[in-house]
């Protein structure tokens, strides 16, 4: 008589989800949608089409910054979890220091700005810091400031008594809208649905040009971080799909 013998063996699987990839894909998808609308833009387009365009642009910008923050958070989490793809590239003493600091909330908590988190990682690893005066670093700084202003939006009362740009400068030199206009107005093409008589922030700056600029700079910045850290680029396999690169 033949008997069937079952063999049971225990095993374990380690799994991680890298959600920064979804933020990146979201930024890319929404930017593509915005471009498609802008390409067929004409002066007679209605308000609903303008709103659709602006929704795509707005959320593309937010997704690019979400990608930036989740990317650096995931780096520290990979170190904490001793993820081989990352930790094998780092000095064991550096890994231990990062693990201990992360457990103490450094730079884990929201009190650490995004750029500081990247800076802490480089500093702890004894890698060259970002050039804070470079165009790329300043673009990322401005992008994060734009995201913060959109997420924590506060409306401003602006009295226009003459030519818009000159009038605004006279009214409130501490205006968030004015600050962002000074920093960003030459960085990308403005929203075609608004005339120059409209405010740069939060109207004319929410554009396909801004969404494309945000995505391009976010990816360039994380590319540079990976190069400095000498670690693999997690999104390299979808690079060819990304718009604006």
Q: Do 80 and 124 form a contact (C-beta atoms < 8 A)?
A: no
- Per-residue pLDDT, 98: 97
End-to-end CA distance of the chain, in Å?
A: 68
Distances (CA, A) of 17 to 11, 45, 71, 88, 238: 20, 41, 12, 19, 16
Q: What pLDDT shows up at residue 106? A: 94
| pTM assigned to the model | 0.88
- Residue-wise pLDDT tens digits, 103-129: 999 999 888 999 999 999 999 999 999
pLDDT tens by residue, 193-217: 999 889 999 999 999 999 999 999 9
Residues in the chain with pLDDT < 50? Answer: 1, 164, 166-171
List the chain domain ranges: 20-241
Mean pLDDT value across the chain = 89
What confidence score (pLDDT) does residue 244 get?
A: 66
């Amino acid at each position: 008589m033949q008997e069937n013998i079952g063999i049971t063996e225990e095993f374990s699987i380690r799994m991680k989800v890298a959600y920064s990839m979804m933020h990146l894909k979201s930024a890319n998808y929404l930017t593509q949608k915005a471009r498609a609308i802008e390409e067929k833009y004409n002066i007679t387009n209605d308000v609903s089409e303008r709103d659709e365009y602006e929704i795509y642009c707005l959320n593309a910008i937010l997704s690019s910054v979400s990608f930036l923050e989740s990317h650096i958070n995931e780096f520290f989490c990979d170190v904490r979890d001793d993820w081989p793809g990352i930790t094998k590239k780092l000095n064991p003493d550096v890994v231990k220091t990062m693990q201990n600091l992360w457990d103490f909330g450094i730079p884990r908590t929201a009190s650490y700005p995004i750029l500081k988190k990247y800076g802490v990682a480089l500093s702890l690893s004894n890698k060259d810091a970002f050039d804070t005066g470079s165009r790329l670093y300043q673009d990322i700084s401005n992008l994060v400031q734009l995201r913060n202003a959109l997420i924590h939006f506060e409306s401003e009362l602006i009295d226009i008594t003459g030519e818009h740009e000159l009038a605004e400068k006279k009214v409130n030199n501490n205006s968030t809208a004015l600050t962002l206009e000074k920093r960003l107005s030459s960085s990308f093409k403005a929203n075609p649905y608004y005339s120059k008589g409209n405010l740069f922030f939060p109207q004319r700056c929410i554009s396909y040009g801004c969404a494309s600029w945000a995505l391009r700079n976010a990816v360039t910045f994380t590319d540079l971080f990976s190069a400095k850290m000498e670690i693999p680029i997690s999104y390299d396999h979808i690079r060819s799909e990304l718009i604006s690169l």
